[in-house]
Amino acid sequence: MHRYVAQANIDHYLSLLHGGDLTADNRSTITQLLLGEEDKLSRDLEHLEFAESRAAESRDRVNRLRKLRDAFEEGSPDRAQADRVLANVEAIHKLMEQFCHHMRQRVNSRGL
C-alpha cells in the first residue's frame, strides 16, 4: 500500500512542478518532498519500471517543449518565456533521470 501512496505522491509533486506558478521557495520544498517520496520506494523491478516510465515521459516533455520553443523567433518575448519554461522542465527531467539512476543502482545492488 505504501508504494502506491509514494508513487501517487511522486506523480502529484511532478504535476505541481510542471505547473509553473511556483515561487522559488515552493519549488524547492516540493522538490525535497519529491526526493523524499523517491527514497521510500523499495528496490524491486516494479519501482524501477515506474521510475523509467516517468523519466521517459519527462524526456518526451522536454523534446516537445524544445520544438515549441524553436518555433518562436530568436530574441522575441515569447522565445524568452519559452526558454524559461524549458529550463524548468529540463531541471525536472534531470531529477527524474537521477531518480531512475538511483533506482537502477538499488535494484542492481539487490540483484534480480
Q: What is the pLDDT of residues 69-81, one digit of tens each?
A: 999 999 999 999 9
d(CA 100, CA 53): 9
How would residue 1 be classed by pLDDT, with cut points 50, 70 and 90?
A: low
Listed as own residue / partner, the contacts of 10-13 with beta carbons closer than 8 Å and 24 or more positions apart are 10/34, 10/37, 10/38, 10/54, 11/54, 13/37
Please check the confidence at residue 44 and state whether its pLDDT lies above 80. no
- Predicted confidence at residue 111, as pLDDT, reads 59
In the chain, domain spans: 2-110
- Structure confidence at residue 43 (pLDDT): 67
Q: Which CA distances in Å does 66 have to 30, 63, 81?
A: 24, 5, 12
pLDDT score of 46: 79
**Rounded distance between C-alpha atoms, residue 33 and residue 15, angstroms:** 13
Average pLDDT over residues 42-48: 74
Between 29 and 19, residue with greater pLDDT = 29
